[in-house]
Chain A
Amino acid sequence: MAIIIDENTKAVVQGITGYQGSFHTERMLSYGTKIVAGVTPGKAGMEVHGVPVFNTVRDAVEETNANASVIFVPAAFAADAVFEAVDAGIKTIVCITEGIPVHDELKMYWKVKDSNVTLIGPNCPGIISPNKSHLGIMPPQIFMEGNVGIVSRSGTLTYQIAYNLTKLGIGQSTVLGIGGDRIIGSDFIDILERFEKDKETDLVVLIGEIGGTDEEKAAEFIKDMSKPVVGYIAGITAPPGKRMGHAGAIIEGGMGTAESKIKALNEVGVEVGKTPMEVAEIVKKKLKR
């Protein structure tokens, strides 16, 4: 089953003629993802890696029945791209773009919320349901189909942990990065809810980092989950008031420390690995039971 995307996902790539869009379209296609259309205003009639390009998302949806979108457009145009996808009837949007103004992100958040659309990101590596579909910029070769779900605010760190699991012979149902920004379309709880319902997922790995209170809120939700959750939190050595790469990774006014998050997770029985390797080992131990 997996969550959010599977073999029935038919995606349009917004910004397909750009360097990033074109490069990653080829990678997604070679993984077997159904990329049915691309959109770049003014480039209708073109093809990118055999994918037809349309001027608008509306045209693309009418012609191809696409039900998902991956956005690679520059930050200044990303909110517009999200609004366009929603109004064209797309139900799942993955926004890779980094550096979007936060006031735009607030508008994006409420637009998708009001329209019952799932937005993953922005500033995220995307989502993969191994052997089914990949929407994003992840290195698909490191994943293996299986029963562990991974939800993360990070990109590379997610790959590292997935790679450790795969090496131990533990596969994944769906792996997704929800994004490193302060305002994102789906937070931990949105994704945990879906993993809890997903028949193919037996355990969830939650990878958090400093900044905000999303992990603390997730802990509240996990209390009532039937499936085990294993955690990792990055940034125990991060100084307060400094932005650590991600716009959202900042300790402000004493809020958002790694200690607070680890404590909240521990309190609801979530084991938090001290290293990415330890996370994989805890997962292995829990699955054996």
Chain B
Amino acid sequence: MKLHEYQAKQIFAQNGIKIPKGKLAKSVEEVEAIVREFGKAVLKSQVLVGGRGKAGGIKLVNSVDEAVEKAKELFGKEIKGHLVEKIYVEEQLDIDREMYVGFTLDRANKGIAAIVSSIGGMNIEEIAAKHPDKIARKTINPKWGLWDYQIRELLYESNMPKEYFKEVFGIIKKLYNVMIKYEAELTEINPLVVTKDGEVIAADARLNIDDNALYRHKDLAELKDYTEIDQLERIAEQKGLNYVKLDGNIGVIANGAGMSMATMDLIYLEGGKPANFLDIGGGASAELVKEAMSIILQDKNVKVIFINIFGGITRCDQVAEGLIKALSEMKVGIPIVLRLAGTNEEEGRKMIEEFLKQTKEEIVLVETMEEGAKKAVELAR
């Protein structure tokens, strides 16, 4: 779960990291009132996507009139497909220098990667590519935690100017504590700013929490912004289905994450385009199959549905039952390609064959997933 900047900053502040003065606005009027109080300000669109600044989501304003004009522009604007509904209004900082501090899960080394750079403001991959002498990276073993010598190494190796050592040292330590305490997958301050007055302040904030740990962080779980998630993906999540919307026209239902991806890939190899990833999981009930059908049918691009089931724990007769239920209760109106293999395959196929005698819906039974993908692509043309 990604937190918005204003939410992450609150958490940073609670953990002793300095943040600029700021307030959240949900309307032009609110922006106006805050800028009246602050004087000069920065309007920052609260959308959960990187590169907001470059995409025009961040505006410097020097007067109330300018703030009103820019706020009108920003509210309702789409930034990389994300609608701006909230603006975080902050005081302007007199920036002397920009730096970077971040922590992220280190899959390859089974630990937590600490990354520090003595320059900041651009994305970290770019810093690494262009200024390898100004960036340092270490893996922290979570068993032992972060030690002071590691912080010193990060500072020396990133060529951090001596005068900022003490301040940045403290921030690295505090940000690591945030990473651990809130069970984050990633947290970063980019840029970490030194102002002309010599203050070190988190000018931006990223904090992504592990979804699997949210049960231990109920206060954070409440911050989840569902307006940021695709509507169909949101409905699917509530039904316990793994669904990701894509832009093709062949709907996919399969059991297992790897199997669902393999099904999408097969469609692509046959020259078609999958409309989605949908994994009904192991041991799916007839009811869940029905829900899966209803979600896919809400995607108006879908011209064919390819259901690819390999029954292990999942029983093919259950899948057939769910499908028949779905087809009896709603009008599908597009062809379905069905592949049932494994546990209770014969029963499942028989049920479908019986059902086909009394319905106008089109179901094409195939033997293998390769054949099914081919058929689905043909029918989508």
Interface residues of A (CB under 8 A from B): 75-76, 99-104, 106-107, 109-110, 125, 137-139, 142, 152-160, 163, 180, 182-183, 207, 209-210, 212-213, 217, 232, 234-239, 242-249, 253-254, 258, 274-277
CB distance from B31 to the nearest CB of A (A): 30
Is B158 on the interface with A (CB-CB < 8 A)? no
Q: How far is the CA of A237 from the CA of B282 in the complex (A)?
A: 22
Query: B-side binding surface: helix, strand, loop or mixed?
Result: mixed
The 6 closest A-B pairs by CB, nearest first: A154-B258, A245-B257, A156-B256, A157-B258, A101-B213, A139-B312
CB distance from A31 to the nearest CB of B (A): 13
Chain B positions within 8 Å of A243 at CB level: 244
The answer on a CB contact under 8 Å between B143 and A207 is no
Give B100-113 as 1s and 0s: 1 = Cβ < 8 Å from A's Cβ atoms.
00000101101110
Q: How many residues of B contact A (CB 8 A)?
A: 50
CB distance from A134 to the nearest CB of B (A): 12
Is B274 on the interface with A (CB-CB < 8 A)? yes
The answer on a CB contact under 8 Å between B142 and A107 is yes
Chain A positions within 8 Å of B242 at CB level: 244-245
The answer on a CB contact under 8 Å between A157 and B142 is no
The answer on a CB contact under 8 Å between A160 and B107 is no
CB distance from B276 to the nearest CB of A (A): 11
Chain A positions within 8 Å of B141 at CB level: 110
The answer on a CB contact under 8 Å between B257 and A244 is yes
Give B307-322 as 1s and 0s: 1 = Cβ < 8 Å from A's Cβ atoms.
0001111000000000
The answer on a CB contact under 8 Å between B110 and A109 is yes
The answer on a CB contact under 8 Å between A156 and B258 is yes
Q: Looking at the complex, which one of A75, A142, A163, A277 makes contact with B212 (CB distance below 8 Å)?
A: A75
The answer on a CB contact under 8 Å between B310 and A156 is yes
Q: Looking at the complex, which one of A138, A180, A246 makes contact with B312 (CB distance below 8 Å)?
A: A138
Chain A residue nearest in CB terms to B277: A244
Chain B residue nearest in CB terms to A210: B261
Chain B positions within 8 Å of A248 at CB level: 107
The answer on a CB contact under 8 Å between A245 and B260 is yes
The answer on a CB contact under 8 Å between B257 and A217 is no
Chain A residue nearest in CB terms to B278: A245
Give B186-217 as 1s and 0s: 1 = Cβ < 8 Å from A's Cβ atoms.
00000000000000000000000010110110
Chain A positions within 8 Å of B343 at CB level: 139
CB distance from A186 to the nearest CB of B (A): 12
Q: How far is the CA of A253 from the CA of B274 in the complex (A)?
A: 23
A274-B269 CB under 8 A given contacts A106-B110, A137-B313, A238-B261: yes
The answer on a CB contact under 8 Å between A159 and B342 is yes
CB distance from A155 to the nearest CB of B (A): 5
The answer on a CB contact under 8 Å between A154 and B257 is yes
The answer on a CB contact under 8 Å between B342 and A157 is no
16 examples of A-B residue contacts, CB within 8 angstroms:
A75-B212, A99-B212, A101-B213, A103-B213, A104-B213, A106-B111, A153-B258, A155-B259, A156-B256, A163-B310, A209-B258, A234-B265, A237-B265, A242-B244, A244-B260, A277-B370
The answer on a CB contact under 8 Å between A253 and B244 is no
Q: How far is the CA of A39 from the CA of B376 in the complex (A)?
A: 48
CB distance from B267 to the nearest CB of A (A): 8
